Structure 1
Amino acid sequence: MGKDKGQYSFSTCWNIKRHQTGSGMIEEIRELGFRYVELNYNVTSELLSTIEPMIERGEIGVSSVHNTFPHVADPDYGTDSVLLGFDDEEKRQRSIELLLRSAEYANRYGAKAVVVHPGEVPFDYNIDQELKKIYSEQGPESAAYLKLWSEMLERRETLAGRYLDRIGDSLEEVCDRLEAKGLDVSIGIETRSRCYQMPTLREAKTVFDRLKGARVGLWYDFGHGMMMERMGLYDNARDMEAIKDHVVGIHIHETVGLSDHWCPYVHSGDMNYFDRFLPIIAASPVKVYELKAACTPEEIELSHDRLLGKLAAYGG
């Protein structure tokens, strides 16, 4: 049994593919010492049938749920979609309904937040995959990378405002309806893992400026932030200042090169870079580890110990 992790939560993305029953999945996370879980978007109604009794008995707490929850098989409403920014009004309304459904589940489980990937500037192919391939093979300074990056950036910057406005419209409607239903949860818009996806930290700030007082904030995913910084989209240390007071939750993981969901301070061997996130970790109301299946219980324990040591030294 791992040491008690206190207020820290752990995402089911770590072990969902290994389990046929929800209760088995949650039990394995409890073995690591976690008292709270984030139920991710692959959790089905079937898995919930054995998780809900555990929640009711107080065997596990739910910190957050990840939209779209429970699982929806349609990729239009999946994690890499235009979602809250759809041009098609019917699809946009469906996205709003699904996010509200996630919030109702979160509220029922006593969770504090719903994590949502709000949208993207659509491309006709996965330009991010192509860029990451060039990055790995030729490097971010190569002519091929810089050329494709500037093409991506030009389209992203041209269209971002339009999609951001629509995402803002959708979030405004969601927050109004959350309030009307008396749901005590926040919506966290997540920093993303593909360069054409939204929001950047600065884009997030424009949403918060527009929706002052609404139950919406940033879900800061550090691994994704590191990836986007390496690719050239934004600078975490510089842009963090603008959003630090708007963080409603975090995904704790680290990126090795452009591969994410590794244990901080363990898999990268870098004992310093991740320190820039310590103030955000200390202040965040919801703190969730989002690790890949390859991370072992021993590595998770070591990473958590190192993080706590860093936080103690920082004074958080």
Structure 2
Amino acid sequence: MLNKGEYSFSTCWNIKRHTVGREMIEEIKELGFRNVELNYNVTEELLTTIEPMIERAEIGISSVHNVFPFINDKDYDTDSVLLGYDDEVKRKRSVELLIRSIEYAVRYGAKAVVVHPGEVPFAYNIDSELKKLYRDYGKDSPEYQKLWNEMFDQRERMSAHYSRRIQDSLEEVSNHAAMRGWNVAIGIETRARCYQMPTLLEAKTICDNLKGSPVSLWYDIGHAMMMDRMGLYDNLQDLQEVKRYIYGVHIHETLELSDHYCPYVHSKDLHFFDHFLEVIDLAQVKVYELKAVCQPDEIHESHNLITRKIAALNQKVD
């Protein structure tokens, strides 16, 4: 299949289908990708057959996704307070785990570590409840708006505190990386649940406060689309503010509030995703993060559309 060049592909697509790491990577290589992002579900066991492939340059690693490799502990998974914990023991452990992820990235020659930095904690998964109300009654319904306002008020009250905690943790990690002479970007990712951090402008503030550090924004296109639909921020407007902070992108599209679909192909909308082509083109690391339902022919079609459209844009500029 056509070589996908600098584009990378996340193991989240096929990790549930494989128990042998080499076979998982070979399946991705068959799609034409020569670079992969190792996601947070990659275990040490899977790595036993992936690492020889990296050493022999059979595959390049664009990025790894914190916490890496996988640890089975809900306190430190991708949907947790993580770098923002008030509990100092837990926060320190989260810092150590991110440093461990960066160590792996350095070892594999990756350019970046993708990080879900934290959240404003709620007593239950209020995002799940809101998404159900959105689907059942619509965004403008009294049912949705009432719960949304409750969530938003609490998030607004507490976000500055958790932003500071996250920032302190990222500063510790950045100092450690500098001391070790590591040259790996730390990309804080736009998230898929409305109480999670950061929003685009929260990410801008954190990056501004840590200027000179390896901390940058990892723009997850599908997540940002969903948060815009739910009402958390204006994705296209805020994107203009944060473009220069972006190091990497997760490329996928959403259908309503469901994500990780092939851009253009599943939505059947051949225009809206054009808003993100400039950002994809500018990103240092470009990673497709697709779900298992995406079929090889759909992945190829989506990639061809994206690359053709970007080439046409660049021709106009020239």
Q: In the TM superposition, what whole-angstrom CA distance separates every residue of 1:264-308 from its partner, at most 9, and x where no partner exists?
A: 000001111111111110100000000000000000000000101
**Alignment partner of 1:43 is 2:42:** yes
Counterpart of 1:46, as a letter, is E
Q: Distance in 2 between matches of 1:280 and 1:48?
A: 31
Q: Mark the runs of 5 or more structure 2 residues left unpaired by the alignment.
A: none
Q: Distance in 1 between matches of 2:145 and 2:2?
A: 46
Three-state SS of the structure 2 residue aligned to 1:315 is: helix
Counterpart of 2:242, as a letter, is I
Three-state SS of the structure 1 residue aligned to 2:275 is: helix
Q: In the TM superposition, what whole-angstrom CA distance separates every residue of 1:198-219 from its partner, at most 9, and x where no partner exists?
A: 0000000110110011001001
Which residue in the other structure is 1:59 paired with?
Answer: 58
Three-state SS of the structure 1 residue aligned to 2:216 is: strand
Q: Distance in 1 between matches of 2:180 and 2:70?
A: 23
Q: Distance in 1 between matches of 2:49 and 2:15?
A: 14
Deviation at 1:241, TM superposition (A): 1.8
Which residue in the other structure is 1:297 paired with?
Answer: 296
Q: Distance in 1 between matches of 2:147 and 2:62?
A: 39
Three-state SS of the structure 1 residue aligned to 2:51 is: helix
Q: Distance in 2 between matches of 1:102 and 1:32?
A: 27
Q: In the TM superposition, what whole-angstrom CA distance separates every residue of 1:164-194 from its partner, at most 9, and x where no partner exists?
A: 0010000011101011011110100000000
Q: Distance in 2 between matches of 1:58 and 1:312?
A: 28
Three-state SS of the structure 2 residue aligned to 1:264 is: coil
Counterpart of 1:23, as a letter, is R
Which residue in the other structure is 1:148 paired with?
Answer: 147
Q: In the TM superposition, what whole-angstrom CA distance separates every residue of 1:226-268 from its partner, at most 9, and x where no partner exists?
A: 0000000111211012211111111000000101000000000
**Alignment partner of 1:274 is 2:273:** yes
Three-state SS of the structure 2 residue aligned to 1:234 is: coil
Q: In the TM superposition, what whole-angstrom CA distance separates every residue of 1:141-167 from its partner, at most 9, and x where no partner exists?
A: 111001110000000000000000010
Normalising by structure 1, what TM-score?
0.99
Normalising by structure 2, what TM-score?
0.98
Please, which moves more after superposition, 241-250 or 84-93? Answer: 241-250
Q: How many residues align?
A: 315
Which residue in the other structure is 1:253 paired with?
Answer: 252
Counterpart of 2:93, as a letter, is R
Which residue in the other structure is 1:219 paired with?
Answer: 218
Q: In the TM superposition, what whole-angstrom CA distance separates every residue of 1:40-98 from its partner, at most 9, and x where no partner exists?
A: 00000000000000000000000000000000100111000000000000000000000
Q: Distance in 2 between matches of 1:245 and 1:305?
A: 26
Runs of 4+ displaced beyond 4 Å:
none
Deviation at 1:140, TM superposition (A): 0.4
**Alignment partner of 1:14 is 2:28:** no
Deviation at 1:314, TM superposition (A): 1.6
Residues 158-177 of structure 1: pairs in structure 2 closer than 5 A: 158-177=157-176
**Alignment partner of 1:129 is 2:136:** no
RMSD: 0.7
Counterpart of 2:160, as a letter, is G
Counterpart of 1:50, as a letter, is T
Counterpart of 1:209, as a letter, is D
Q: Distance in 2 between matches of 1:235 and 1:4?
A: 35
Q: Distance in 2 between matches of 1:70 and 1:25?
A: 15
Three-state SS of the structure 2 residue aligned to 1:100 is: helix
Q: Distance in 1 between matches of 2:46 and 2:207?
A: 35
Please, which moves more after superposition, 269-278 or 8-17? Answer: 269-278
**Alignment partner of 1:203 is 2:197:** no
Q: Distance in 2 between matches of 1:98 and 1:186?
A: 16
Which residue in the other structure is 2:138 paired with?
Answer: 139
Q: Distance in 1 between matches of 2:30 and 2:97?
A: 32
Q: Mark the runs of 5 or more structure 1 residues left unpaired by the alignment.
A: none
Q: Distance in 1 between matches of 2:48 and 2:212?
A: 36
Which residue in the other structure is 1:93 paired with?
Answer: 92
Which residue in the other structure is 1:30 paired with?
Answer: 29
Q: Distance in 2 between matches of 1:227 and 1:70?
A: 28
Residues 79-118 of structure 1: pairs in structure 2 closer than 5 A: 79-118=78-117
Counterpart of 2:18, as a letter, is H
- Aligned-residue sequence identity (percent) comes to 65
Counterpart of 2:273, as a letter, is F
Q: Distance in 2 between matches of 1:212 and 1:253?
A: 29
Three-state SS of the structure 1 residue aligned to 2:69 is: coil
Counterpart of 1:257, as a letter, is E
Which residue in the other structure is 1:239 paired with?
Answer: 238
